[in-house]
Amino acid sequence: GFSWKLNDHPKLPKGKIIGLVVLDGWGEAKPNQYNCIHIAETPAMDSLKMGAPEKWRLVKAHGKAVGLPTEDDMGNSEVGHNALGAGRIFAQGAKLVDLALASGKIYEGEGFNYIKESFETGTLHLIGLLSDGGVHSRLDQLQLLLKGASERGAKRIRVHVLTDGRDVLDGSSVGFVETLENDLAKLREKGVDAQIASGGGRMQVTMDRYENDWDVVKRGWDAQVLGEAPHKFKSAVEAIKKLREAPNANDQYLPPFVIVDDNGKAVGPIVDGDAVVTVNFRADRMVMLAKALEYDDFDKFDRVRFPKIRYAGMLQYDGELKLPSHYLVSPPEIDRTSGEYLVHNGIRTFACSETVKFGHVTFFWNGNRSGYFKQEMEEYVEIPSDSGITFNVQPKMKALEIAEKARDAILSRKFDQVRVNLPNSDMVGHTGDIEATIVACKAADDAVKMILDAIDQVGGIYVVTADHGNAEDMVKRNKKGEPLLDKNGNIQILTSHTLEPVPVAIGGPGLAPGVRFRKDVPEGGLANVAATVMNLHGLEAPADYEPTLIEVVDN
């Protein structure tokens, strides 16, 4: 029968302290002026690279290697940390929704049947990120859902859009809204009363994560549920074009707006008897809204009105909280993660990041599950992030504080695994500010240095890797790899992640002499890291985990 007990590794000892560092958004790309990692001074990471090929290598962090639908899908933190923590590749939300829409199964499930009961007398509201980024949501899935729901009886539909500019180019929101407007017009021709009701930029409205700033969710609530916002427009295309004219405006940070009719009345507040679907498949930035929509007891902000609705998520976002309780597509069943194995095998774990990435090394790492497996074996520390700022103004973020916590945890010898996420290259990379991103990369490298030093002091082992690319390429490129220019001749800044591979480096005084990277897993990806780390803890990985990246040669 099944057992959590892992076999001892035949060659590697137990009891070494492992420092496990995930650099967020740190890929490997050609050195050039748009590669902030290359430009920045990064002596710690440079020295690790000198260990190639035995102690440093690249792994895949995008596409099918992390459970995404196609090789054109860039990596992201959700799928990256899922793979790192779970040691296997699971078909992810993006893919599962594609399949459910293609087969029509999405309309047969409990979730759809639940919301459908409101179609006769209520309005169907769809809330989510409007882009083709494929990280949190996809426009084509929304289009299919609109069609499918209207064919199945939804007579009145309101869409609440969140503009992107973070997983896609800034400025692309106009085109996405035009496409959506077009679809809604076609539905209206068929007699469905379908309109955009509200909107706003994803970083300003609704899509906060890990409870960093509830005001973000409140701004969305006011617009979506109460029909109130500082800006009122007759159409969403007009809204976005106008709001983008403000100095320094961008898609990510557009203020909230509502669409009003000729009498100035909001066209789509959410009221009793309505159905609501949050169409994002990715969890982190939907959990807070899901709580506001679902929980009777709620004290994070004044909801003013708490409508009696039928609410379903595109997926269930939190497997531990079972939130939301209704959903259209079942999430990937990410079970038996490495974290859960390790607590059953005597490994004491410390995990830390700052708020904006805290759930990455806990929630995502543990298969989209909040909380501890065994509290007496684990400690998770969250360092509060600065809120209400764009991180290009504070590119060092809390890297130093994270590294200090990790250092102290390592030196305390109370933990066998000390795991951190260093957010800088990702969070600052997403702002598109190249100068600031260079500062960010150096700050992350300084943090790596501090952790490596601590590992040195305790005779431990380090594993340094990343979840996906970002800061190593800050320009949109054509198929040939040349930078793309906009109509004014300026380069198009790439705020999003990339398709690049990421490094994995191993070392430290505790690493047994014969350990080196194998040559026979050239296609290795992030999912291969979990077995590797288990081995370094002196344990064999479960048989169905992706193979380890290391071998032990006698010398």
The residues binding Co ion (CB under 5 A) are 426
Question: Which token pair is 208?
Answer: 């906060």
User: Which residue's CB atom is positioned nearest to Co ion?
Assistant: 426
Q: Pick from ligand 3PG, Co ion, none: which does 135 bind, CB < 5 to 8 A by kind?
A: ligand 3PG
Q: At what angle do helices 399-412 and 434-458 cross, to 10 degrees?
A: 10
514-525: string of b/e by CB count within 10 Å (b at 16+)? ebbbbeebeebb
**DSSP SS3 for 280:** coil
Which residue out of 3, 77, 325, 412 is catalytically annotated?
77
**Residue 285 binds ligand 3PG (CB under 6 A):** yes
CB of 285 to ligand 3PG, least distance (A): 6
Instruction: Calculate the dihedral angle through the C-alpha atoms of 207, 210, 211, 217, rounding to the nearest 10 degrees.
Output: 10
Of 24 and 222, nearer to ligand 3PG (C-beta) is 24
Report the residue number, 77 or 532, with the smaller CB distance to ligand 3PG. 77
- Residue whose beta carbon is closest to ligand 3PG: 77
Nearest approach in angstroms of CB 24 to ligand 3PG is: 6
How many C-beta atoms lie closer than 10 Å to residue 58's C-beta? Answer: 17
Q: By CB under 6 A, is residue 24 in contact with ligand 3PG?
A: yes
Is 154 or 279 the residue whose CB approaches ligand 3PG more closely?
279
**Residue from 76, 92, 316, 370 in contact with ligand 3PG (CB under 6 A):** 76
Residues 314, 93 contacting (CB under 8 angstroms): yes
Q: Residue 480: CA atoms inside 13 Å, Cβ hemisphere, count?
A: 3
Could you identify the residue written with the tokens 């590669």?
Answer: 35
Closest CB 470 distance from Co ion, rounded Å:
6
Find the part of the chain contacting ligand 3PG (CB under 6 A) among 72-80, 172-180, 454-462, 535-543. 72-80
Least distance (Å) between residue 166 CB and Co ion: 8
Is residue 62 close enough to count as binding ligand 3PG by CB under 6 A? no
Nearest-angstrom CA–CA distance, 291 and 321 = 10
For residue 470, the SS3 value is coil
How many residues belong to the site for ligand 3PG (CB under 6 A)? Answer: 12
Tell me whether residue 77 is one of the annotated catalytic residues: yes
Query: What is d(CA 437, CA 442) in angstroms, rounded to the nearest whole number?
Result: 9
Looking at beta carbons only, is 132 or 408 nearer to ligand 3PG?
A: 132
Q: Does 60 bind ligand 3PG (CB under 6 A)?
A: no
Residues near 510 by beta carbon (within 8 Å), at least 6 away in sequence:
16, 17, 455, 458, 459, 460, 461
Contact 96, 329 (CB under 8 A): yes
396 makes contact with ligand 3PG (CB under 6 A): no
The reply to whether 167 sits near ligand 3PG by the rule CB under 6 A is: yes
Residue 451 and residue 447: Cα distance in Å, rounded?
6
Cα separation, 11 vs 355, in Å, equals 38
CA gap 201, 214 in Å, rounded: 15
Burial string for 122-149 (b: 16+ CB within 10 Å, else e) reads: bbbbbbbbbbbbbbbbbbebbebbbbeb
- Cβ 79 to Co ion shortest distance, Å: 11
Enumerate residues 417-456 that contact ligand 3PG by CB under 6 A. Answer: 426, 430
Closest separation in Å from C-beta 201 to Co ion? 16
In the complex, least distance from residue 226 CB atom to ligand 3PG, rounded to whole angstroms? 25
Q: x/- site string to ligand 3PG, residues 121 to 150, per CB under 6 A?
A: --------------xx--------------
* Residue ranges with strand state E in 279-368: 310-315, 327-329, 349-354
Q: Which of the listed partners (Co ion, ligand 3PG, none) does 167 bind, with a CB threshold of 5 to 8 Å by partner kind?
A: ligand 3PG
- Residue 166 found at the interface with ligand 3PG (CB under 6 A): yes
Select the span of 70-78, 178-186, 287-295, 507-515 touching ligand 3PG (CB under 6 A). 70-78
Residue 323, binding choice from Co ion, ligand 3PG, none, Cβ under 5 to 8 Å by partner class: none
Residues that bind ligand 3PG (CB under 6 A): 24-25, 76-78, 135-136, 166-167, 285, 426, 430
Which residues are identified as catalytic? Answer: 77
